[in-house]
Amino acid sequence: MLVLTDERFLEHVPGGGHPERPDRLQAVWEGFDRSGVAEGLLREPVIPATDELIKKVHSTAHFEGLATLNKQGGGKVDADTRMSPGSWDAARLAAGAGIQAVAALKEKRVTQAFCAIRPPGHHATPTQSMGFCLLNNVAITAAALTAEGKRVAIVDIDAHHGNGTQDVFWDDDQVLYVSCHQWPLFPGTGAINDTGAQKGQGFTVNVPLPPQAAGDTYRAAFDEVITPAVERFNPDWLLISAGFDAHRDDPLTSLGLTSGDYADLMTRLVALVPAYRSLIFLEGGYDLAALTESTAATVSALLGGSYQPEKATSAGPGLAVVQQVAERFKP
């Protein structure tokens, strides 16, 4: 497995007790080391995305606004999102990681890739940074692939709905966007009836789950909604927005997953496409111990290891929601 990460990500420092702090990435790195399969990880520093690739997703005004704030030494982007002197460089690196991973997978140097990056990206819309996100990392990679004529499935398992990713591909039939998220929760998007528009109608699939939804509900969502949707779409590439904030210990959310659930769900996701065609993007996750253990269990499972500090969970609510979504998207 290729791991794309970089010390320069630590230079994005929102400060003031902000939950999206540099310690998060160090917790992920600890998870790699704890996984028991560290020898199977090929780590590489990251090459930043070009202006051209970023502007395939983000408006010139958005891009230039961030660049200007960077020249001023950083500052508040919105109520939740801040830039420090190192944030713009970190954001451009995060935006480039997926592009670099795709190149390595095309060359078959590795069978899968994990972009351990920050700041996260899935809340950033074409015109606005928000929700701790400056640039939409997964969308930039998907847009580069669709420009080559490829079909891309994005599955987002962050506890918060990826409103930015949904907005980017709302009317696009070359990208399938599927999200399992807590409802209600920031940013307040991702209702069942949010399904895309124009030629993109039906290519957005939202599974809004109630608080305390656990692993059995997620597995039902995979069996009844996600797997059928991805198989019908038949993508060339699968991009996973891996938010580890659906863990039951996360301080910003109220879902019920464990590291054992994440290992199971990630393994199921990667199996939906052939080798050399899937990559993982780090999104949220704000309890450091949970982030370490979920990363470790996920990487171990994907590389055939046995590290699983927590069992998978069951007996959570939300099965009725899953059935409602499945019925809506039944062929």
Active site residues: 123
* Residue owning tokens 């692993």: 215
Looking at the chain, the number of H-run helices and the number of E-run strands are 11, 10
Characterize the bridge pairing of strands 237-242 and 2-4.
unpaired
Count of residues in the chain: 331
CA 101 – CA 142 distance, rounded (Å): 12
3-class DSSP state of 25: helix
Q: Strand 113-115 vs strand 152-156: parallel, antiparallel, or unpaired?
A: unpaired
Note the Cα 297 to chain centre separation in Å.
17
What gap in Å lies between CA 139 and CA 119, rounded to an integer?
14
Output b/e per residue, 115-146; b: 16+ Cβ within 10 A: bbbbbbbbbbbbebbbbbbbbbbbbbbbbbbb
3-state helix, strand, coil in the chain (%, to 5): 40, 15, 45
Q: For residues 178 and 254, give the distance between their C-alpha atoms in angstroms, rounded to a whole number.
A: 20
In three-state secondary structure terms, 55 is coil
Residue whose C-alpha is closest to residue 58's, from 159, 132, 130:
130
Q: Cα separation of 93 and 42, whole Å?
A: 18
Angle between helices 60-71 and 87-106 (to 10 degrees): 130
Q: 104 near 25, Cβ under 8 Å?
A: no
In the numeric block, which tokens belong to residue 308?
């699983």
Note whether 134 and 157 are within 8 A (CB).
no
